[in-house]
Amino acid sequence: MKKAWKQIVDSFDIEVVLICDSKEDGYHLAKQLAEEHGFNDYDVVFIEYLNKMARIRLRINVSQVGSHYSWLSEKVNSLDNEKR
């Protein structure tokens, strides 16, 4: 069975509601959340603050343009095997 993580082409989003004191506090907590889970390449793409809570969408970038795509090399390898 294929690993789902290896099938991600470029990025995925995480949406979360955090308890916080301000929009800025929510922003920093979202960044901390991403980093605590080992994600170093991310963007906060949406933030809405209301009543001590922030609804936040993080975009986690798995691959950048020009990166080595594991799914692409698997496809090339399977094509090479078919030629033999």
> Token match 């991600």: residue?
8
More confident residue, 68 or 18: 18
Q: List the beta bridge partners of residue 72.
A: none
Going from N- to C-terminal start, the domains of the chain cover 4-83
Q: How far is CA 47 from CA 31, 43, 62, in A?
A: 12, 11, 21
pLDDT (0 to 100) of residue 8: 79
pLDDT (0 to 100) of residue 42: 95
3.40.1190.20, 3.30.30.60, 1.10.3720.10, 3.40.50.300: CATH of 4-83: 3.30.30.60
More confident residue, 4 or 16: 16
Q: Over the stretch 18-45, which tens digit does the pLDDT of each residue have?
A: 999 999 999 999 999 999 999 999 999 9
> 33-40, long-range: CB within 8 Å, 24+ apart, which pairs?
33/58, 34/58, 34/60
